[in-house]
Every structure is written in structure tokens, then in C-alpha cells.
Structure 1
């Protein structure tokens, strides 16, 4: 009998792939993705769920995490602006991964790692208290009430996130959905975070190092108001 832990059942409700990839995007995936892997994350390549070797990946640099990086513009911006950190991104939508790889080539940033899959699998293999900052930017809103349990801001996601974050780590959430704000403010503190807000500008005004994403620009075009929430891990 194997001593390997059994893989937990995890429903996945999003998309893995959209439109047919452009030829250059397929080249990015074929040539660059494996080189940018943070290590053995998938269950078939790491059934023992051995922790990732982050010092081997980034040296002694602080590690940041972006959960669902979309097209990758924010991730590349942060990596280029902060060459003294290592940034891991998780995104199951392969079209977004291909877009990110193209941006990485163009920006020539090297302090990035990319997991093209469910962030919950990445949480399994990130060492405890190893991440200094995390981003959740314009996540899938799952607007129907019966789908709210699919949102990231539920215990299934927040508890493992809290495990891998250092004490004092910052967790940023940006969304244009008022009910997602409500659920975030209700659930994230329960997972061991405090909301860092003293006045309305603290959630109405974007962070100083923010770069607007295509999702935010779409929200603004359609008349929705972004909210920027900042939490600190206790």
C-alpha cells in the first residue's frame, strides 16, 4: 500500500481553455512554460506533496503570490517593479497563461514562476508561512447566490492561504462586485486577517503601485466601481 496522501476531491468550476491559441502563444507555452514552473506541483508529479524549494527558486528573496493572474499585466508589472522579490502566479485558464508568457518575454523579467492550474494544488506544496504578500484581483464573481460557495473568499481557499502566508503578510483584494466586497469583509477576517482601513479612501483609491488591468477597464466602461481591500495576516 502506498504511503502517499490521497488526492482530495476538488470541484473546478471555471474554464481551462477558451478560443484557439494563436501560433505565437502556443510557441510560448511549448518553449517557456516548463522553464517557469515553480517546481513539482501537480499530483502526478508530486504525489507525496513535498514542499517546494523556494530558496532554490528565488534565493533569499521574499515570495509573493498572485491568485488568478488573468492576462498577467499586473503580475509582470509587480515583478519588473520589484526585482528583489520572487513572484509566483497561479492561473488555470491556459489562454491567460499564454498571454502572461508573451508579456514576460517582452518585459524580460526573470523573477517569476508560473503554475498553470488550480491554486489549491499550489497551496498543498507551498511551505507554511513562506509567502509575504498575496493578490486576488478581479476574481470570478459567481454572481448567482447559489454559486457564492464557488468564490475564492470561502474557508476552502482562505484557510490554506492563511497557512502559507507569514504573520504580517499583506493580502490585497480588488473587485467591482459589491456583494463580493461584502463576502470578503465577512469571511477573510474569520481566516485570521485584519482589514486595514481607517477612511473611505483606503478602499476607494487604488494602491500606489497599482496598474489597471483589462478586467478593471472593462468594469469602468460598464459603469461599475472598483473596490480595493487590504488585509494583514495576524
Structure 2
């Protein structure tokens, strides 16, 4: 499927797909590694279990949507080699950077999708994922663009369909309006429960949190990140 065709058919991706020209190393890794790791939903039949997409057939599979440079995704895949990780990132330059770093790390428990995450979610079988991370997504800060935010009733229902009961949806952002937006939408959705126990829980980073470039920028600019965790009932 061509890039232009994917752009016309997209539902939840509204940003640009390319930035400045890639460095030769990144371009080479992108061309060589993406075909090996990419989930081709336009040609592959959805499996009964997402574990069959990995050579080691992991008992658990996690999904990260919009991984940027991949700092967190690579960190988690390194921490948990027995878990399969699927990363979604439509921005070409970020995907290229990630593929170069993942290749250097020698990780074998990764698969990727380089288009609209809603397409992948709709392709996945029900009850097939053990966790979803949505970390520092595009906040679309102007109120007239809030409808473009990835967290919405339709996508939360997509999450609920693919997540196994008892699994976690984790959301991090440094934009107050998006944090409140997410809390309100998850509170109104029957399949999710916020797991905060104390008033400070939302300020506490996740276990072994490596930080991200976006988080570092938030700190530099004086914004306080929030780390939300929701249970798929």
C-alpha cells in the first residue's frame, strides 16, 4: 500500500509523516530492518494469537502506540526478553531512529507497524494484548483540534476489545488538558478503572521508567508530567 493511499485512508493520524532527510545509517537501517519487523496487515491474515508473530512465541504481548525515538520501547523490550513488544509509529524519521537503535541492541522480541494505530487495533484478535502504553501522544492543544486526540470513546473501545481483562492501559502526558481529558473519558468508559490509590500516584513514574525526550523537554519548560494507569476490567 503506497504512502499516499495510507494517508488518505487514515483515521487517527493527522500529523506529517516525514521530517528532514535521514542520515545514511538511519536510511540504511530503515530500508533493511523495517521489512523484517513490520506487521503487514494489508496482506497478513490476523492470527488467533499475536504471539505467533514472534519467533519465541511469547506468552505475553504488549503494545506501545506512538513510540517516538523508541527509548521506552527498547528499554522495556530489553528488560523483558520473554515478552513480545509491538510498537506503532507513523513518523518515518522516528521509525528510522528506532530501527537503528533496536538493531544495535540486538533485540528479537520486537515487531512494528508504521501507520495509523487504529488499523492495527481493528486487525488484532480480541483479548490478545497484555498491556497498552500511550506515552506523550500529540496533545493537539487547540480546543478546535481536541477531536483529533487519540484518546476518545471509539479508541478506548478498541483498547478494551484487544486487551485481556486485568491488563493495563498506561497514559503519560505533560499537558494538563489532555490528562484531564483522558481521566474523564476513561471514567466514562465502562471497561476501564483508574488505579490511583493516593493523590500523588499520578506524579509517580512507572517502574524502572527510563524517561523520554518529550519528558525531558517538559521538565525544561516547567511542566509536570502525569502518569496514569487504568485497569481493563
Over 3 Å counting, the alpha-carbon distance change for 1:18 and 1:189 in structure 2 is same
What is the CA distance between 1:10 and its match in structure 2?
2.5
The residue aligned with 1:197 is 196
CA distance in 1 between counterparts of 2:65 and 2:16 reads 15
Match of 2:65 among 42, 64, 67: 67
CA distance in 2 between counterparts of 1:91 and 1:143 reads 20
Match of 1:178 among 176, 179, 182: 176
The residue aligned with 2:159 is 161
**Any unmatched runs of 5+ in structure 2?**
1-7
What is the CA distance between 1:156 and its match in structure 2?
2.8
Q: TM-score, normalised by structure 1?
A: 0.90
Task: Tell me, yes or no, if structure 1 residue 231 matches structure 2 residue 226.
Answer: no
Over 3 Å counting, the alpha-carbon distance change for 1:226 and 1:195 in structure 2 is same
Deviation by residue 1:68-100 (Cα, 9 ceiling, x = unmatched)? 001101000000000110000011101110011
The residue aligned with 1:94 is 92
What is the CA distance between 1:8 and its match in structure 2?
7.1
The residue aligned with 1:55 is 51
CA distance in 2 between counterparts of 1:159 and 1:77 reads 28
Out of 166-175 and 189-198, give the one that drifted further.
189-198
**Any unmatched runs of 5+ in structure 1?**
1-6
CA distance in 1 between counterparts of 2:20 and 2:217 reads 19
Over 3 Å counting, the alpha-carbon distance change for 1:8 and 1:214 in structure 2 is closer
Structure 1 runs, 4 residues or longer, greater than 4 Å off: none
